[in-house]
A and B are shown apart, each in its own frame.
Chain A
Amino acid sequence: MNKILLMILQRFGLGLLTLFVVSVIIFIGVEFLPGDIAEALLGQGASPENVAALRKKLGLDVPAHTRYVNWWLNVIQGDFGTSLANGRDIAELIRVRLANTLFLAVVAASVSVPLAILFGILAALYRNSLYDRSVNIITLGAVSAPEFLVAYVLILYFSVTLGWFPSLSNVDADTSFFERLHRVTLPAVTLTGVILAYMMRMVRASIINLLASAYIEMAHLKGMPKLRVIIRHALPNAWAPIANIIAISLAYLVVGVVVVEVVFIYPGLGQLMVDSVSTRDIPVVQACSMIFAGTYILLNLTADIVSICTNPRLLHPK
């Protein structure tokens, strides 16, 4: 058991290291963008003196590496700083946006994950049947369509023509749970369409891969019914690959949400980040990217832990 704990700690440490590297890359990346927030705020007609004054006020006259170190020192203490654009507390700013984004992601995930596993298993079970082929074609189509296109098509039919759902998904603190659910339906469906196809195909592939193993043939030769072979003999060995597929898809869900949020004007983290990049609001961009990167790392860590914990060799050592 200690061995498993050690492996998990190791993965966790690597995750933190990745997070650090990501923060450096983001910081440098934003530094390279032409212009800074002082120019963005004051507009093109501003005099160089005014710009310099604003820079000094915002602390931008300090060299980049000092700013970076200071930023880290604050983050470690739990302080993400204040937005350069409007002076609001970033932690507060992000809290609401993050909650919105997670809500959308969770809704999309809770629909797509079970469906993907079910469709994937069925497709593997009835390989090359009519069902398998039609599911393949449909999902392949869904994967190929860019998500903004899917989003606009959905808006066209379900909100413009039929009027079932709103085309803008703006929510605020007062919106009730069911009202929220109603408003995020279209963005959630868009996201589901994109990741469902991918996940389902990967589940299908990993199950088919497993079905070629000797112990599956043995289960057939023992006269086990087809369903039992899948559920009892294939699935327990499939959790590791499936967990990986789900983790990557969910990570994509959280990150890929940017485009969808912009299309539906949904007040989530993606929107916030896009806005902040255009105003060169470095602390906000930095905070958002850290959250995105953290989510990615956390999900992959979870997948790792699931693969470790479902491996009988590690679970039941000699």
Chain B
Amino acid sequence: MNNRLLEIRNLEIDGESDEVWHEIIKDLDLDLDRGEVLGLIGESGAGKSTLGLAAMNFVRPGCRIRGGTIRFDGQELTAQSETTLRKLRGVRIAYVAQSAAASFNPAHQLIDQFSEIPVVHNVKNRQDAEADAKGLYRRVLLPDPDAIGYRYPHQVSGGQLQRAMTAMALSCRPDLIIFDEPTTALDVTTQIEVLTTIRDIVREFNTAAIYISHDLAVVAQMADRIMVLRYGELVEEATTREMMSDPKMDYTKSLWAVRSFKKETETAATEINPVVKVDNVTAGYAQEDILKNVTFEIHRGQTVAIVGESGSGKSTAARVITGLLPPRLGNIQFNGQVLPKSFKARNKDQLRHVQMIYQMADTALNPRQRIRNIIGRPLSFYLNLTGQKREERIRELLSLIELEPDLYIDRFPDELSGGQKQRVSIARALAAEPEFIICDEVTSALDQLVAEGILRLLDRLQREFNLAYMFITHDLATVRAIADNVVVMLQGEIVEQGPKTDVFSPPHHEYTELLLSSVPEMDPDWLNELITHREKHGVMASTSTS
């Protein structure tokens, strides 16, 4: 067993919350050979990151390793002193974090943060380290590799930072790199490039890797072998191909089947007048126009999905419709009537009919108010409901979002799970009895199974109340599931729009094609084939290189 690099046995890790210790990792084994890539899959709270960090014998504050052994290259890590471990970290085991933007120190240039690893560990001197950095920057396809290192983190885009971090992990040519959700925060088109870079690098340097992600399709591209975790326990382990084609356990199968939800019928526009019409709107901040001559309509009972990468103007469109950002040109029409540009000039009824549900239910719900007040406020504000009537309506709304009223009405948001909080946000929007709801990335912060529940709920409510939805999302799987019409945006302009079936079936607009083909698929060969295909046809490599 000379080829064995990492061997974890009976690992048990505890975490502390409110002075009570509870298990995060329960009796887990993990093996990794040299040059092998292991995928760790699971929902949030499954213990993926904790396990990944444990490979370096590192635990976050508030956690402790209670038992088990971590053997790295024949050396037992749990018995080592902090100094010995320190000499291992960065040199033989490196870490690539989820948010490169947060994990690079804002006060130093990229190349300084690269060089300090080999310099502090006495592997290279400063000059050699900088030369090596430039070489690796070139290798991970960063633009202007000789100069980019002298920039500060905020001067570089998210995708570029993620590559710079991968380069940094390689600075001492480690035997093992832990990638912790390295592409989760990126747009799909950028994700492809970073995934390709990471995979090529891992192969070229024959580095072993632990690849952590909640996105099965991504892991399928990267890993030789996959471990599925849940509640800190191993559910199933197999080679990638075996796991993809023949998952054994029910939980694994449910993960695989997550994207099965699809809206039953597609609703075509039934009436001539749309509920909401965005008419030739140009809007932006300071001198810059974020939206340029944007026109689209949303009809009763219909869901229009606005699709695009970050910075494409999706959320700005929502701000213009709600009146938070008055447009420079054009207007917003509601049932054929032009709405005042600013929300301040709109009357209660106009405000009532346009409601919003946000991405982060955590920040959208007042943590100091009970559910009763959160849902009750729009009832008294818009509909002048009081006393018994208000109470009854709150209970009715809670039943509508499938939360037992007696159980939840007196709770605070903190006492709910992520999905439940999002349900309360939905109830709050519904309380105003609107005709139109804007859903801004409402499922992005949720695990897939939970997200699907939310989508089903929204779909049911739409049919029951004949609601119009505007769905802002970067997740094309969600769009496929719920949209009737699709609006594709790029840099503030609409590239293509129409019924979902038209937009999503060929021939595509060039950008739509790029977006669609960039969504990872479950097939382990997908990335290979895509790259080969793109190289052959010379598809634009990136649209966001700011």
Given contacts A228-B120, A316-B152, contact A220 B58 (CB under 8 A): yes
Residue of B nearest to A213 (CB): B102
Q: Contact at A233–B89, with CB atoms within 8 Å?
A: no
Q: Contact at B89–A221, with CB atoms within 8 Å?
A: yes
A318 CB–B CB distance under 8 Å: yes
* B87 contact set on A, CB distance < 8 A: 223
> CA A316 – CA B86 in complex, angstroms?
32
User: Which of A212, A218, A313 interacts with B97 by CB under 8 Å?
Assistant: A218
User: Which of A212, A233, A313, A318 interacts with B105 by CB under 8 Å?
Assistant: A233
> CA A93 – CA B59 in complex, angstroms?
63
A215 CB–B CB distance under 8 Å: yes
> CA A219 – CA B53 in complex, angstroms?
14
B90 CB–A CB distance under 8 Å: yes
Annotate A209-249 by CB proximity to B: 1 below 8 A, 0 otherwise. Answer: 00011110111111111001000110011000000000000
In chain B between 81 and 115, which residues have their CB closer than 8 angstroms to a CB of chain A?
85-91, 94-95, 97, 99, 102-108
> CA A243 – CA B120 in complex, angstroms?
30
Q: Contact at B86–A318, with CB atoms within 8 Å?
A: no
Given contacts A214-B97, A318-B155, contact A222 B103 (CB under 8 A): no
Q: Contact at B88–A215, with CB atoms within 8 Å?
A: no
A312 CB–B CB distance under 8 Å: yes
B229 CB–A CB distance under 8 Å: no
Q: Contact at B86–A225, with CB atoms within 8 Å?
A: yes
**How far does the Cβ of B205 sit from chain A's closest Cβ, in whole Å?**
18
B154 CB–A CB distance under 8 Å: yes
* A217 contact set on B, CB distance < 8 A: 60, 97, 103
> CA A310 – CA B106 in complex, angstroms?
11
> CA A313 – CA B104 in complex, angstroms?
13
Q: Contact at A218–B152, with CB atoms within 8 Å?
A: no
> CA A151 – CA B546 in complex, angstroms?
61
Interface residues on A, range: 20 to 34
Q: Contact at A221–B102, with CB atoms within 8 Å?
A: no
B121 CB–A CB distance under 8 Å: yes
> CA A2 – CA B91 in complex, angstroms?
43
* A214 contact set on B, CB distance < 8 A: 97, 99, 102-103
Residue of B nearest to A228 (CB): B120
Given contacts A214-B97, A214-B102, contact A220 B89 (CB under 8 A): yes
User: Which of A223, A237, A312 interacts with B152 by CB under 8 Å?
Assistant: A312
Given contacts A214-B97, A217-B60, A218-B103, contact A224 B116 (CB under 8 A): yes
* B154 contact set on A, CB distance < 8 A: 312-313, 316, 318
Q: Contact at B120–A221, with CB atoms within 8 Å?
A: no
Q: Contact at A225–B106, with CB atoms within 8 Å?
A: no
> CA A61 – CA B151 in complex, angstroms?
67
Residue of A nearest to B98 (CB): A214
Q: Contact at A223–B95, with CB atoms within 8 Å?
A: no
> CA A224 – CA B112 in complex, angstroms?
13
**Total count of chain B residues near the partner, CB < 8 A:** 32
**Interface of chain A, main secondary structure:** helix
Residue of A nearest to B88 (CB): A223
> CA A178 – CA B116 in complex, angstroms?
47
* A318 contact set on B, CB distance < 8 A: 154-155
**How far does the Cβ of A224 sit from chain B's closest Cβ, in whole Å?**
6
> CA A215 – CA B58 in complex, angstroms?
15
* A222 contact set on B, CB distance < 8 A: 89-90, 94-95, 116-117, 168
Residue of A nearest to B61 (CB): A212
> CA A222 – CA B117 in complex, angstroms?
6
**How far does the Cβ of A291 sit from chain B's closest Cβ, in whole Å?**
36
> CA A154 – CA B103 in complex, angstroms?
49
> CA A218 – CA B110 in complex, angstroms?
13
B56 CB–A CB distance under 8 Å: yes
> CA A170 – CA B152 in complex, angstroms?
54
> CA A225 – CA B85 in complex, angstroms?
11
Residue of B nearest to A225 (CB): B86
> CA A212 – CA B103 in complex, angstroms?
11
**How far does the Cβ of B470 sit from chain A's closest Cβ, in whole Å?**
31
Q: Contact at B106–A313, with CB atoms within 8 Å?
A: yes
**How far does the Cβ of B393 sit from chain A's closest Cβ, in whole Å?**
42
Annotate A286-312 by CB proximity to B: 1 below 8 A, 0 otherwise. Answer: 000000000000000000000000101
> CA A121 – CA B278 in complex, angstroms?
55
> CA A228 – CA B87 in complex, angstroms?
14
Residue of A nearest to B56 (CB): A221
* B117 contact set on A, CB distance < 8 A: 222-223
Residue of A nearest to B58 (CB): A221
* B94 contact set on A, CB distance < 8 A: 221-222
* A213 contact set on B, CB distance < 8 A: 102
Most chain B CB within a 10 A radius of its CB, from A214, A228, A313, A318: A214
Contacts A/B (CB < 8 Å), 25 sampled: A215-B103, A215-B104, A215-B105, A215-B106, A217-B97, A218-B95, A218-B105, A221-B58, A221-B89, A221-B90, A221-B94, A223-B85, A223-B90, A232-B116, A233-B105, A233-B107, A236-B108, A310-B107, A312-B107, A312-B152, A313-B106, A313-B154, A316-B155, A318-B154, A318-B155
- Leading 5 A-B pairs by shortest Cβ distance: A223-B89, A223-B90, A236-B107, A214-B102, A222-B90
Which residues on B are within 8 Å of A, measured CB to CB? 53, 56, 58, 60-61, 85-91, 94-95, 97, 99, 102-108, 116-117, 120-121, 151-152, 154-155, 168
Q: A224-B120, A236-B107, A237-B105 are in contact. List 19 more A-B contacts (CB 8 A).
A: A214-B97, A214-B99, A217-B60, A218-B95, A218-B97, A218-B104, A220-B58, A221-B56, A221-B95, A223-B87, A224-B116, A225-B86, A232-B108, A232-B116, A237-B106, A310-B107, A312-B152, A313-B152, A313-B154
